[in-house]
Structure 1
Amino acid sequence: MRLPDMPLHDPFIVADKKTRAYHLYTSNDPSVSGVDGTGTMVYRSHDLRDWTRPVVVFLAAEQKEIWATDGGWAPEVHEWGGKYYLFTTLHHQDKPLPVAPPDQWGTPFQIPNHMRGTVTAVSDSLLGPFTVLDPSRPAPPEHLMTLDGTLYVDPSGQPWMVYAHEWLQTIDGTMEAIRLAPDLSRAIGDPIFLFKASDASWISEQIPSGVPHQLAPCVTDGPQLYRTPDGSLLMLWSTYEKNRAGQDGTIGGGYVQTYAVSKSGDITGPWQQHRPLVRDDSGHGMLFHTFEGQLMMVLHRPFSNARGKLYEMQLLDHELRVLRRRTDLDGGG
């Protein structure tokens, strides 16, 4: 298989040096995996061009007494303590959460919220099967509507989960971090606020004057942390760029891949926002190195019926740049 033929969303690549194989994790799609159910599947390749048919490595319904069996979004796999840990977002529409409070303009959002958050699961193999560590709840506080949790390990060796707090509950979506237990099974302490989506001032710079803020909620999606050569901490994240008003007064705009930098090197920031790396309804990217040492970014485009796109990247101190699109690998489009 090749990337144009591979349905995927929120791609995450592990370059496994032991087998010299790239493992691309995404939500299970029964049309290609042949397995029904909410979960995670993985494609494998030795050259980023030709891929095996996917193998299912996690199914929510197979987990005993799991709190949710819908979602399966944004799977990531991280090596930690000699084992492999899957992070993926589940949700349960029959477990309601409070709706968003009125915003600063006094306009309430009456959008029903429900329980959503990232679980952690463990396996001895990159090919699973993965078993949820705590089937009773997500790792972030369960009263928060969150998604897209990722692993960050600070210089002291403390593991954290960094996640997006849904705009559905906050109106202006936020990025937050919370410490994890050594076995990554649960959160410790309270969440720490990192930044809000509207801190990226370019998000709304083209909204016509007079358009109410409440018609342009700000989204946070897809965090991934990366330590730069100069010691800064870089975070890839995605959002929607609001650049036009429709006839019905709502705001439109495409999904974009952007990033922020903590020059202090600390997860607490302060975080400086940078302009988008890739537009064109693209996002939820992550960085990885090829076996030859080239820094790469994979993301999905378009948002619906998505396919993987690959870019060669360059880091100059803490500034991330796109060098070129690898259409020879991802098929163009």
Structure 2
Amino acid sequence: MKLHLLIIGLLVFQVACKQSVSEQVQPKNPLDVPFGDPFVLYDKPSDRYYMYGTGGVDNGFVVYVSDDMTSWEKEGVAYTNEQEHAWGVKDFWAPEVYEYKGKYYLFYSAHWKDNPTNEIENFRIGVAESDSPLGPFIDQSSGPIFDPGYPIIDANLYFADNGKVYMYYSRCCYKHAVDSEISRWAKKEGMFDSIEESWIYGVELAADFSRVVGEPVLLLRPPVNMDDQQSEWESRSVTSGEVNRRWTEGSYLFKEGNTYYMMYSANYFGGENYAVGYATSTHPLGPFDKSPNNPILQKNTTEGGIVTGTGHNSLVTDRSGTTWCVYHARTNKTGDQRLAFIDRLVIDKQGNLRVDGPTVNIED
């Protein structure tokens, strides 16, 4: 009887400890993680959080680990292209890692070595696998998952209730000049002769991640008309004279109730106007309608803050069931290096998204 009570007491103690840890998730932004495009995996088997992102090593990815999402430690290189099946040669970007049927799969973008026409931007998406979230991740094949005929980046996966897997990606702006009112306006103003755009697509993925199923579907693109309420915030990189491109990238899909939410980033990733909006649908392949509340995450310098370049987000749910938005940004105190931030994601009673940020905890 005493032994039985002792075992129960130990179990209660362990649960209480985990609850205590989850309740203490209080990220101090910016995190000491020099990443762009951060992605956090909560791994139930190890009961730890793993962060991957752009940066930290040449031609590969490093991983940071945390027990509470507050303090992060660099664990080392999770992926490198110094392997037999490597197909990428440079520009390794935007890694995302998923646990699936006991294995871990890393999806990423890179510059494809198969480049007979010497394209400057020859990006494709590949997948590597491992038995551990720490890696090493080994490419499944000697090439990208598929070749749509144009450069693509920023893979994101959604595992549907019916067992299907969907992959989302961004077609790069490269050689993708699009006619619109903003492009005609920019040319008339003598700012830019043309405006290139990136668009977000979705496509079903084979169960073994080796290929796509069917044809990609266009889901999101920058506004065509300047009176579109999304046009002002999605065109800031152009209207400020920063660059002749409009981005729709860094997608992240999740479902709440019967609604599919696609979060995405717009504007130049290297500039202060990078920001996050979202769109909703009743199907994982759309059509999607952009929210009138966009953007839901943007620079705060216009309100006296110090944060700019907020974007390319992902989401993670902690042990207590709280959902957090993970993204990169810069501050006027930390300089040009992109750093990881984590802030609360809130869905109100009307189904609207809100990010309680950017928050900062920098001491003077």
Q: TM-score, normalised by structure 2?
A: 0.73
Aligned match of 1:275: 294
User: SS in structure 2 opposite 1:5?
Assistant: coil
- Map 1:20-35 onto structure 2 (within 5 A): 20-30=47-57
For the 8 Å contact 2:219–2:285, the answer to whether it is kept is: yes
For residue 283 of structure 1, report the CA deviation from its aligned partner. Answer: 0.5
Counterpart-to-counterpart distance in 2, 1:72 and 1:145: 13
Counterpart-to-counterpart distance in 1, 2:105 and 2:238: 45
User: SS in structure 2 opposite 1:128?
Assistant: coil
1:204–1:219 distance in 2 versus 1, CA, 3 Å: closer
Aligned positions, number: 296
For residue 324 of structure 1, report the CA deviation from its aligned partner. Answer: 5.0
Aligned match of 1:103: none
- Map 1:84-233 onto structure 2 (within 5 A): 84-92=104-112, 95=115, 113-136=120-143, 138-170=144-176, 171-198=196-223, 200-203=230-233, 216-228=244-256, 230-233=257-260
1:253–1:60 distance in 2 versus 1, CA, 3 Å: same
For residue 88 of structure 1, report the CA deviation from its aligned partner. Answer: 0.7
For the 8 Å contact 1:167–1:220, the answer to whether it is kept is: no
Quote the RMSD (CA, aligned, Å).
Answer: 3.0
Counterpart-to-counterpart distance in 2, 1:45 and 1:277: 27
Q: Which amino acid aligns with 2:353?
A: L
Q: Which amino acid aligns with 2:205?
A: L
Determine whether 1:72 maps to 2:88.
no
Q: Which amino acid aligns with 2:76?
A: V
User: SS in structure 1 opposite 2:135?
Assistant: coil
Unaligned runs of 5+ in 1: 31-36, 99-111, 243-251
Determine which of 42, 60, 64 is the counterpart of 1:43. 64
Determine which of 323, 327, 331 is the counterpart of 2:356. 323
For residue 203 of structure 1, report the CA deviation from its aligned partner. Answer: 3.2
Determine whether 1:54 maps to 2:75.
yes
Q: Which amino acid aligns with 2:170?
A: A
Aligned match of 1:309: 341
For the 8 Å contact 2:42–2:317, the answer to whether it is kept is: yes
1:206–1:309 distance in 2 versus 1, CA, 3 Å: closer
For the 8 Å contact 1:313–1:321, the answer to whether it is kept is: yes
Q: Which amino acid aligns with 2:122?
A: M
Once the two structures are superposed, what CA deviation does each residue of 1:192-246 show, in whole Å capped at 9, x if it has no partner? 111212363233577999x99xx64211221111111x3111111111179xxxx
For residue 174 of structure 1, report the CA deviation from its aligned partner. Answer: 0.7
Q: Which amino acid aligns with 1:318?
A: G
Determine which of 254, 272, 276 is the counterpart of 2:273. 254
For the 8 Å contact 1:10–1:284, the answer to whether it is kept is: yes
Q: Which amino acid aligns with 1:319?
A: N
Q: Which amino acid aligns with 2:261?
A: L
Q: Which amino acid aligns with 2:115?
A: K
Unaligned runs of 5+ in 2: 1-27, 177-195, 225-229, 299-307
For residue 86 of structure 1, report the CA deviation from its aligned partner. Answer: 0.3
Q: Which amino acid aligns with 1:307?
A: L
Aligned match of 1:33: none
For residue 65 of structure 1, report the CA deviation from its aligned partner. Answer: 4.2
Counterpart-to-counterpart distance in 2, 1:332 and 1:295: 26
Counterpart-to-counterpart distance in 2, 1:205 and 1:6: 29
Counterpart-to-counterpart distance in 2, 1:276 and 1:183: 36
Aligned match of 2:264: 237
Q: Which amino acid aligns with 1:267?
A: L
Counterpart-to-counterpart distance in 2, 1:191 and 1:57: 30
Q: Which amino acid aligns with 1:167?
A: C
Identity of matched residues, %: 26
Once the two structures are superposed, what CA deviation does each residue of 1:136-190 show, in whole Å capped at 9, x if it has no partner? 2x22425221000111223321112100001113222111012211111222222
Deviates most, 194-203 or 306-315: 194-203
For the 8 Å contact 2:153–2:172, the answer to whether it is kept is: yes
User: SS in structure 2 opposite 1:202?
Assistant: helix
Counterpart-to-counterpart distance in 2, 1:204 and 1:234: 18
Counterpart-to-counterpart distance in 2, 1:92 and 1:67: 6
For the 8 Å contact 2:168–2:200, the answer to whether it is kept is: yes
1:219–1:281 distance in 2 versus 1, CA, 3 Å: same
For the 8 Å contact 2:220–2:248, the answer to whether it is kept is: no
